Amino acid sequence: MSDFRRFFVQEIYPQTIVEGEEFFHAVNVLRIKVGEKVLLCDGTGKEYLAEISSIEKRSFTANIIEERLNECEPKEKVTLIAGYLKGDKTELVVQKAVELGVSKIVVFSSKFSSSFINENKLNRLNRVSMEAVKQCGRAIVPKVEYAETLEKALSFGDSCKNKLFACEFAKANEVDFSNLNGSTAIVVGSEGGFSNEEYQLALEKGYKTVYLGRRILRAETAGIALTSIIMHSLGEM
Ligand code: SAH
């Protein structure tokens, strides 16, 4: 955990004004004070040490002291493409995946999905991503996006070097984790798993099969476990 509280703003100025949710959290929950040092991030990966100079009713102002290098961002981009889950399980997956270092999360609905997302839920997932970023010290907030079909979800992996598809009914694993490098997309199903047609579609789109062993893992376990394996293979853990 970094030594200073971090706040996200749209843009950095010598005197940066922090407002909205970030301000209310700072004042009501963290009880920040004038003179306190904080880290300001604009979401691009840079962060700035700043000192709070004034606290108003709806905003606080912080004077930039210096730019700092954030060392927590992963070197390779990993995109997690995960089936949308029941209850708040997707929130758990987003939180853990962000801590583990993914750069983007895509949630999708597919043939055997039993839960559907709406705009509020998507906003909530993006807030979970931001909170996880702050907690683990990252400087870029991974965006959570929604794809209404598996086909659209798979296309988020188009530009990735490695495209991996976790299939619970696969016979064997095709991926050599010890030799993995470069950007990577990981696809994991929802509670209902995948149909054979969906698996074939992924293969046609250039995805390689990942088999995680004889035990069928819950969707949230599979997403978190596979993200951990990939991050370890890429030298991030
Ligand atoms: N309902 C399905 C299981 C779905 S598990 C059934 O009963 O067979 C949810 C998702 O986790 C799967 O779609 C897959 O992406 C992943 N998963 C779970 N266990 C796995 C395993 N052993 N190998 C590969 N992927 C697995």
Domain 5-69 class, CATH top level: mainly beta
Q: What confidence score (pLDDT) does residue 2 get? A: 58
Q: How many CB atoms lie within 10 A of CB 230?
A: 26
Residue 112 Cα: closest atom of ligand 1: 1
Average pLDDT over residues 63-78: 94
CB distance 76 to 180 below 8 Å: no
Q: What confidence score (pLDDT) does residue 116 get? A: 86
Residue 187 Cα: closest atom of ligand 1: 15
Q: Poorest-confidence range of 131-135, 142-146, 157-161?
A: 131-135
| In the chain, domain spans | 5-69, 78-233
pLDDT, tens digit, 9 for 90 and up, residues 147-203? 999 999 999 999 999 999 999 999 899 999 999 999 999 999 999 999 999 999 999
pLDDT, tens digit, 9 for 90 and up, residues 207-218? 999 999 999 999
Ligand 1 centroid to residue 179 C-alpha, Å? 24
Q: What confidence score (pLDDT) does residue 171 get? A: 87
Fold of 78-233: Alpha/beta knot (3.40.1280)
Query: Which residues 6+ apart lie within 8 Å of 236 measured at CB?
Result: 74, 75, 76, 100, 101
User: Is 132 a residue whose pLDDT tops 70?
Assistant: yes
> Best mutation site among 110, 150, 217 for ligand 1, i.e. most ligand atoms within 8 A of its Cβ?
217
Q: How far, CA to CA in Å, does 59 sit from each of 14, 62, 90, 98?
A: 16, 10, 32, 28
CB distance 167 to 210 below 8 Å: yes
Cα(150)–Cα(108) distance, rounded to whole angstroms? 6
CA-based nearest residue to 208, from 230, 190, 191: 230
Helix (H, G, I), strand (E, B) or coil at 14: coil
Q: What confidence score (pLDDT) does residue 81 get? A: 98
Q: What does pLDDT average to over the chain?
A: 95
Query: Which residues 6+ apart lie within 8 Å of 74 measured at CB?
Result: 101, 103, 231, 234, 236
Q: What confidence score (pLDDT) does residue 43 get? A: 83
CB distance 145 to 103 below 8 Å: no
CB distance 98 to 176 below 8 Å: no
Q: Facing residues of 50 across strands?
A: 38, 64
